[in-house]
Amino acid sequence: MEASRGLEIEKKYDVDTAAEVPALEQAPGVARTGKPHTDLLEAVYFDTPKHGLAARRITLRRRTGGKDAGWHLKLPPQGAAAGESPQHRTELHAPLGRPDVVPDSLLTHLHAYLRGTVPAPVVRLETRRTTYPLYGEDGVHLADLADDHVTAARLEDGPDAPRQEWREWELELVHGDPGLFVPVEELLTAAGARPAGHASKLARALGSGTKAGKRVAARAGTAAGEEAPGDAGGAESSSALLAGKRAPAAAVVTVYVAAQIDQILARDADVRNEEPDAVHAMRSATRRIRSVLAAYGRLYRASPVRKLRSELKWLGQLLGQPRDAEVLGKQLREQLGALPPGEGIAGATSSVEQRTGSDYDAAYRLLREALGSARYFRLLDKLEDFRDNPPVRAEAVTPGRRAAAKAVDKAAKRLRRSHKAVKRARRGREEELALHRVRKDAKRLRHVAESAALVHGKRAGKVVKAAHRQQKILGRFQDAVVARDLLAAIAADYSDPATAAIYADLLNQQEERMLAAKAGSRKAWKKSRDLLGHGVI
């Protein structure tokens, strides 16, 4: 059974036990407050032994009582900083099921973070919640204010562990606009509320003074940029550094790579579930990291970067196989569908569907196996370690603008050499391989220019567009080459004249597409040759 999905938008406030809930209907836009109702809730929170979920602002719990009893998984928005308020979080629900078994519909979203570990109970919360519904003039249910009296116990500390008690208010939008937070917050603040000192009840229950809480705070702090290791710093602190002209080069790389790691982690569950474009998005993220590590390699110790690039290549190849089969199948399906009805169409369509479908299924099977492997989980660990503790050379304190400009120039020079190689190549396979190299080098230039855009702005953005244009055109060329080779292999097994004629027609189409792409590539290169000359940015 699939998990139900929703978006949670809320703000939390710490409040003393003696505080009284204000007259919320006094807030502009609130017409009346509905009759309050009280629920007794019990929630057991699950995490890894090192609290890897809590450190990433991920909450997994099983809650009984109230109208939404069941398993709840809360995921932070991609790239969000810890402590962001109001909170926008994706929330997934599943039925209660067994108390000790996390539903598969939720577990599939956690494999990239659990990395082979099994989540276990870490905290039990008992909450006496009184909910005050807020309504607008037209009767729309705008929001709920939850007045929570909480008792928490850390299950890891054993049955005799001290219990914590506190009170908090939680304002969550239902159908209201986020603008409602401001006037309601003024009323709550006047009644004694303070912005919550913790992002969640779980974070407060773990406590900053405990070993568990320190682990969570350290991990979340690094992700939020509260620490700046070495020259690069954490992702968010680097973002602040990039605002100035003296941003260090490793900070440029850290910010760019951090965004791609976020993409890989966010797409992991979608790839497992075969969601549209998920494989393409994850594959692109791996390629972007590889391109940037190659371009800025001199900033880092060679061995860790070489190993990281090698493992990213392994993952990229596994992602590429089902993606290529998917693209090829779609392309040939469209071309067959555009042919006039006639004898041989059905046989050719069946053969193409069978071949591309079996290739896709086999490739996806290998990909799923890899995503459950220790090798993949080690790669994710290494990526996060590179982001949080970049292996910067002690002497490599280089200004980011200078390093980025140099990296783009080098990538552009590489692309210019590839274009010259095409002119020297003999027609046929040699020329096809040379054009494929142009495409790959255009892609690398695009990725490096994307990183440079963090400190060079519009000029680098123009390079990104020019490189992408060439990459896209030559992508069509490569797709036609792969389709031609597949069609030739399938056609060799058929002697039926009608079906053979269909294959001959399709093969001619591939040749025409290749010629058109070559012409388009030459035209695009002429337009961008001055931009991608010496001293690109």
Over the stretch 449-483, which tens digit does the pLDDT of each residue have?
999 999 998 999 999 999 999 999 999 999 999 99
Pull the structure tokens for residue 5.
């999905």
* Residue range 17-40: mean pLDDT, rounded: 96
Pull the structure tokens for residue 361.
């299924």
Alpha carbons 194 and 215: distance in angstroms, whole number: 25
DSSP of 243-280: TSTT-BHHHHHHHHHHHHHHHHHHHHHHHHTT-TTHHH
Pull the structure tokens for residue 455.
């400190």
The residue among 342, 514, 339, 528 whose CA lies nearest residue 431 is 514
Alpha carbons 295 and 410: distance in angstroms, whole number: 8
Q: Is the pLDDT of residue 108 over 60?
A: yes
Q: Is the pLDDT of residue 80 over 90?
A: no
| Sequence-separated (6 or more) residues with CB below 8 Å from residue 27 | 134, 180, 183, 184, 186, 187
pLDDT-derived band at 234, boundaries 50, 70, 90: very low
Q: Is the pLDDT of residue 64 over 70?
A: yes
Q: Which of 83-92, 162-171, 368-377, 507-516 has the lowest mean pLDDT?
A: 83-92
Q: Is the pLDDT of residue 436 over 60?
A: yes
Read off the amino acid at residue 529.
Answer: R
Helix or strand run (H / E) with residue 464: helix 458-491
Q: Which of 20-34, 487-501, 504-518 has the lowest mean pLDDT?
A: 487-501
Alpha carbons 57 and 79: distance in angstroms, whole number: 11
Q: What is the pLDDT of residue 213?
A: 55
pTM of the predicted model as reported, rounded to 2 decimal places:
0.86
Alpha carbons 21 and 182: distance in angstroms, whole number: 16
Q: What is the pLDDT of residue 211?
A: 52
> Is the Cβ–Cβ distance between 318 and 366 less than 8 Å?
yes
Q: What is the pLDDT of residue 342?
A: 84
The proportion of the chain whose per-residue pLDDT surpasses 90, expressed as a percent, equals 77
* Residue range 419-442: mean pLDDT, rounded: 96
pLDDT-derived band at 106, boundaries 50, 70, 90: very high
* Residue range 55-65: mean pLDDT, rounded: 94
> Is the Cβ–Cβ distance between 494 and 459 less than 8 Å?
no
Alpha carbons 198 and 167: distance in angstroms, whole number: 13
CA angle (134 as vertex; 128, 138 as ends), nearest 5? 155
CA angle (290 as vertex; 288, 291 as ends), nearest 5? 65
Q: What is the pLDDT of residue 534?
A: 72
pLDDT-derived band at 224, boundaries 50, 70, 90: very low
Q: What is the pLDDT of residue 214?
A: 54
Q: What is the pLDDT of residue 162?
A: 85
Over the stretch 109-124, which tens digit does the pLDDT of each residue have?
999 999 999 999 999 9
Over the stretch 273-330, which tens digit does the pLDDT of each residue have?
999 999 999 999 999 999 999 999 999 999 999 999 999 999 999 999 999 999 999 9
pLDDT-derived band at 407, boundaries 50, 70, 90: very high
Pull the structure tokens for residue 99.
């108390």
The residue among 147, 170, 181, 131 whose CA lies nearest residue 30 is 181
β-pairing, 164-173 vs 70-75, is unpaired
pLDDT-derived band at 78, boundaries 50, 70, 90: low
Q: What is the pLDDT of residue 537?
A: 77
Q: Which of 223-237, 258-272, 448-462, 493-507 has the lowest mean pLDDT?
A: 223-237
* Residue range 514-522: mean pLDDT, rounded: 96
Alpha carbons 225 and 82: distance in angstroms, whole number: 9
Q: What is the pLDDT of residue 59?
A: 95
Q: Is the pLDDT of residue 228 over 50?
A: no
Q: Is the pLDDT of residue 11 over 80?
A: yes
Q: What is the pLDDT of residue 154?
A: 94
Alpha carbons 404 and 157: distance in angstroms, whole number: 50
Q: Higher-confidence residue: 3 or 291?
A: 291
Sign of CA dihedral 22, 28, 34, 37: negative
Alpha carbons 448 and 243: distance in angstroms, whole number: 19
In degrees and rounded to multiples of 5, residue 36 shows phi and psi of: -70, 150
pLDDT-derived band at 398, boundaries 50, 70, 90: confident
